[in-house]
Structure 1
Amino acid sequence: MSETIERPYILHMFTATPQMSPFDVNMAADAGYQVIVPYCDVQAGMVTNLTQDAIFSRGPKGVSRTGIFIGGRDVMLAADMLDSARRAMVPPFEVPVFADPSGSYTTAAALVALVERHLGKQHGMELGGKRVLILGGTGAVGRIAAAIAASRGADVTIASHHDEARARQVATELNQRFGIVINGIGTTTSAALRVALAEAEIVLATAIAGVQVISSADLAFAKRLLVAADVNAVPPEGIAGVNVMNDGKPIDGVPNAGAVGIGALAIGNVKYQVEHRLFMRMRTGGKPVYLGFPEAYEEARAVAAGLG
């Protein structure tokens, strides 16, 4: 009498860094993956062989219970690795792939989706045509938020408070890679920051944790501000007056009384749901999918719409 053994759900997790993120491992397990295997220090040229090892070893039925996740810290490298994995597939040996380096794809998606939600809810406006200033914009979340916002028709500027040349370089890289148009500036002095704030309608703070990029005094110059959002959950607030719990609360000290703030925990709540949904889509969708930041953004919009 033969016994049928159900094949487990296996997730292969690739990262170019020395270790895989425990956060992502936990998320994968909570989405129902039973065997989770991290592969660290993965170079871009290794992705094709690793992918084909994963798809050919289980047969056409087994691939439906197999997935690949791409982590790391470099958002461009992760996008390249996602493309390499896609090209390595040999139908019907094809598995779903999800990229989310440092959580930047899902965080940026949640950030922009919530800004759009409150822009519509509080002001009856859309993101297209709005002047968006991203402080700390050369980092992982800032880059992807810039790409998403620009793809929605926003007039996007990324800023570095350390190095204007770096901001310009990153803007050029994003423009060339994604076919968008964004600008790079330096906010190395208070005067430069305040000039940029005076023109901005949307401000996104994506700088490293524990750094305040906009003080209460700076806010007085944000005369056109409609929505400000901050991904920093570590004190002090990245934007003065925008608490981590805020989700559309008016910001004190801004000339425009209708300006509202979105804090890190509100963004994090949507980010968590987006990442969970994308892992579930991989595991239960029944067909191969390739999930990068455009798919994360569409999922984030769906989550934000359900918030009421």
Structure 2
Amino acid sequence: MQVLELKPLKNKKLKIKLVESEFPVDWSLEVPNNQTEVLGDTFFISRQYLALITDLIKKERPDFVVEDKGIRPFVETNGDDEFVKIFSEEGIPYSLVDIPEYALDYISLPLTNKKELIEKFDVEIKNYKEKRTVYYNDLHFQQLVLWKQYLKDEYKEEENEIRYKIREAWMMMGILKFAKLLDKRHLVTLFICDKRHFEGILFLAKELDIECDIINIKKIAKNFDKATSVSGIMKKSVIEIMPIKIKKKPKEEKIIYFFDTDEYCSPFDTNMGYDAGFDVVLPFPRMTADRVEKLVQDAMFSRRMGAPTVYFIGGSNVEESDKIADAVLNALVPPFESPVIIDPRGAHTTASAIVAKTIEIARMHRINALANKKLVILGGTGPVGQICALIGSKLQAKVYITSRREKAVKSIAEELMKKAGKGASQINGVVVITDEEKFEVLKDADIIWSVGKAGIQLVSKKLMKRLPSNKIVVDLNLVPPYGIEGIKPNFNNKEFCSGIYGIGALEIGRLKYKIENKILKEATTRKGKVIFDYNIAFRYAAKMILGSEIEIIH
């Protein structure tokens, strides 16, 4: 008894020519027994298709030929079969491939039980209808019908799983088994099958390092319009079947180069890259601006122009990340430019999520925009806080960033104003250490964002209760003690003090994930030097939860 096992061929190279069958190949778990069917399990093949296969054999010179069995039984091929005779006359081995009956019986057992249950529902529904008049609002009848439909849908889904994925794997194993028997290093096979299997076979072939070509067929009826009867069509019309060879375009790997300032590249961003569809994520930890130019040039000039290449800049050192981003952008030269994502420690995507989520909740409280609203960012000198300040400033909010270090907070506020540019509102740096200092800056705030380090409480419940109402508060801290005492990570517009509404870290995290995933996927489709930073991240965030993009000044 064979066990399904797919392993790449050793010391052999196989090329599969996928040839579309003349007609769709029937298959189902239950072999049709309706003798009124014209074809039944008989596979008719036209003279034109036989001629096409004959020509393909002469042109391609396959080492062996396999065919999708479908609902035909596994029997010895008949020497009188004209189709089989084509191969035998050329000395080419031929075989049907499919899942063995013992394996199919085992796999389909749960479906057999499910089918019996569906039949019981049919009987129950029939009996119910015979006993009474059924109305549209009959709850019991509704449940019977709904459960039957649910079981039918589930049955069909599981049957299709066998029809395609499982059978295709067994077919591929049959091809590999055939290839192993032949004493040649380079082999070519024709696999004649329903074209609905092409996608699955191509996927398996890629995994097994097997080259594939596709040969579709096109049928043309000539003189058809001149005939007026069946006999006329048979006598005067001509069917031509032409092969259409489709060369699969060589797949270019989607590669993202991940430059991180930290000792180790972030597993979060690495996983995000793979989940977004990149084939290769290349991490470069401990990156500095003076080292990145050479790496970018090597990456750029070693790939075809327009190949899907993306550069991602991360790390907790925001200042160095900015320098790396500038160096990467300066190193890119036409026509080899590629998209660049700037998101050090998730600062750009997280900040964008915070601002967009705040606006969503603010609108529920009749605050339509952040313009002229006092916005206090606790722990605002960190990566997320700085980007929050930039977006808030560009949205014309009255921005205050806080820190325990006076020199640092003043200096960072000045640098942020330079980055914000003309038209942005003032960013103020404020020193807060004591509760009284915190109270003074928070009492007239409309919006409070707590973005300090994990596990550090910045505002106590006692202080929160002293504050006037009509405030929206975001706490990014997911590690207790939380940044704002009283806010839990799952809060979403939750009133936790009188007139003060909280948004927790989980709500921000969910949106941040969606934004980064969107950026990564979008970057693979874009050509040239496209910069994905907080400007684009915030536009995406606003579109996701507000329904329309919000432009911020550049």
Q: TM-score, normalised by structure 2?
A: 0.52
Give 1:108's aligned residue.
Answer: 351
Distance 1:77 1:224, change over 3 A: farther
* Bigger shift: residues 114-123 or 128-137: 114-123
- 2:287 is the counterpart of 1:46: no
State yes or no: 1:193 paired with 2:438.
yes
* Larger RCO of the pair (alpha carbons < 8 Å, separation 6+): 1
Residue 28 of structure 1, aligned match among 273, 284, 294:
273
Distance 2:528 2:466 in 1: 51
SS of residue paired to 2:541: helix
The one-letter amino acid of 2:363's match is: G
**SS state at 2:305 partner:** helix
Secondary structure of 1:199's partner?
coil
Q: 1:212 to 1:127 in 2, by over 3 A?
A: same
Question: What is the correspondence of 1:37-76 to structure 2 with a 5 Å cutoff?
Answer: 37-62=282-307, 65-76=308-319
Instruction: Tell me how far 1:186 sits from its aligned partner.
Output: 1.3
Is the partner of 2:494 in helix, strand or coil?
A: strand
Which region of structure 1 is more displaced relative to structure 2, 237-246 or 177-186?
177-186
Q: Deviations over 1:62-85 (max 9, x none)?
A: 2xx111111111223323322322
Aligned counterpart, 2:539: 298
Residues 1-308 of structure 1 mapped to structure 2, 5 A cutoff = 5-62=250-307, 65-160=308-403, 162-179=404-421, 180=424, 181-223=426-468, 225-252=470-497, 254=498, 257=499, 259-286=500-527, 288-305=529-546
Give secondary structure in 2 for the equivalent of 1:220.
Answer: helix
Q: Report how far residue 225 of structure 1 moved.
A: 4.1
**Which one has the largest radius of gyration?**
2
Uncovered stretches (5+) of structure 2, i.e. residues with no partner: 1-59, 61-210, 213-248, 549-554
How big is the shift at 1:163? 1.9
- Tell me if the contact between 1:200 and 1:224 (Cα under 8 Å) persists in the aligned partners: no
Give the letter aligned to residue 292 of structure 1: D
Q: CA deviation at 1:49?
A: 2.0
Distance 1:75 1:220 in 2: 35
Q: CA deviation at 1:244?
A: 0.6
Q: Give the distance between the partners of 2:373 and 2:466, measured in 1 at CA.
A: 17
Q: State whether residues 134 and 157 of structure 1, in contact with CA within 8 Å, keep that contact through their aligned partners in structure 2.
A: yes
The 8 Å contact of residues 449 and 475 in structure 2, kept in 1 or not, is answered as yes
- Relative to structure 2, which stretch is displaced further, 27-36 or 278-287? 278-287
Give aligned pairs, total: 300
- SS of match in other structure, 2:443: helix
2:65 corresponds to which residue? none
Higher alpha-carbon deviation: 213-222 or 99-108: 213-222
Offset, 1:27: 0.1
Q: Which stretch shifts more, 173-182 or 113-122? A: 173-182
Helix, strand or coil: the match of 1:60?
coil
Greater alpha carbon shift after TM alignment, 239-248 vs 259-268: 239-248
User: 2:538 is matched by which residue type in structure 1?
Assistant: Y
Aligned residue identity for 1:194? F
Letter in 1 for 2:411: Q
- Cα offset, 1:102, TM superposition: 0.7
Please give the alpha-carbon distance, in whole angstroms, between the structure 2 residues aligned to 1:124 and 1:234.
30
1:122/1:225 CA distance change after superposition, 3 Å: closer
Paired residues of 1:136 and 1:158 also in contact (CA < 8 A): yes
**Pair 299,293 (structure 1): closer, same or farther in 2 beyond 3 Å:** same
C-alpha deviation, 1:224, in angstroms: 5.1
2:341 alignment partner, SS class: strand
Could you tell me which residue of structure 1 aligns to residue 11 of structure 2? none
CA offset digits 1:96-136 (Å, max 9, x no partner): 11011111111111011111111112223310100011111
Gap runs ≥5 in structure 1: none
User: With structure 1 as the length reference, what TM-score do the two structures score?
Assistant: 0.92
Of all paired residues, the percent bearing the same amino acid is 34
Q: Is the CA contact (8 Å cut-off) linking 2:491 and 2:503 kept in structure 1? A: yes
